[in-house]
Structure 1
Amino acid sequence: MQSIKVADYLNHRPVTFNQDMRIEAAVEKLLQSGQSGGPVIDESRRVIGFLSEQDCLKKMLEATYQNESHSVVSDVMTKDPLCVNCEDSIVQIADMMSCNKPKIYPVVDEDKRLLGVISRANVLLAIDKHLHDTYMSGQRYV
């Protein structure tokens, strides 16, 4: 199971944001993507933050009370998010995710450039496929 790598299950086309994007535009992009969050990247595609539904919800709720919003992504994003790399084990990521860590991790190269994201759903799929393959191969020899 340790041989199953993030590279085999990551989402190569995640929703991304830039730090100067208005929160309202980011929320719309997030809702259209169906993801619960995404990396904030700079012009070189380096990960500089992470924006989640929870971050947006707090700011949007605040805007409804004030009847206006002037916030941008950099105001609410998580700075220096936890990132993983392609060679990390799915088991290692599953352990991290089971301890109330983020639901989605940016996957980066050695220069912190975004390669994709890995979500809890991706990790569950990897584990399920491995267990199914193991079960099926065990059944052949019965």
Structure 2
Amino acid sequence: MRVQAFMFYGCALFFLATDVVYWLWSKDWTGTTAMALAVGLAGLIGFYIHFTIRRLEAANGGPLYEDDPEGDIAQAAGELGFFSPHSWWPLFVGLSAAAITLGVVFGWWLVLAGSAAMLMSVIGLVFEYYRGHFSH
């Protein structure tokens, strides 16, 4: 994954060069600020990935299988995580977010109702496996 970090560093450099050229030609502060934020975002993501890789390599005792040129696909086998196959809570979270967004357009009462629904649906999503049939 070290390649991904350097890809984001390259994007940050590209955005920086583009930002300087844009500012010199247009003198537009809005676009220049937006491009500067893109530089910062790409640099931040590259920095995070770079130092996360270093920490994982130190814990692993060597390079990760993604960075091994002699690596095999079978090295990536194993559990990737737990994914809920039957949960309806993400649908309710999405509907609550839609209600909040529509509330900004149609009225603040809908923002309040959507926020209450969002709070309840996020609590339901987080604590889904702590009660009922699927509790641990």
Which one has more relative contact order, counting CA pairs under 8 Å at least 6 apart?
1
TM-score band by shorter chain is under 0.3
> Which structure has the larger Rg?
2
Q: Which has the higher strand share?
A: 1
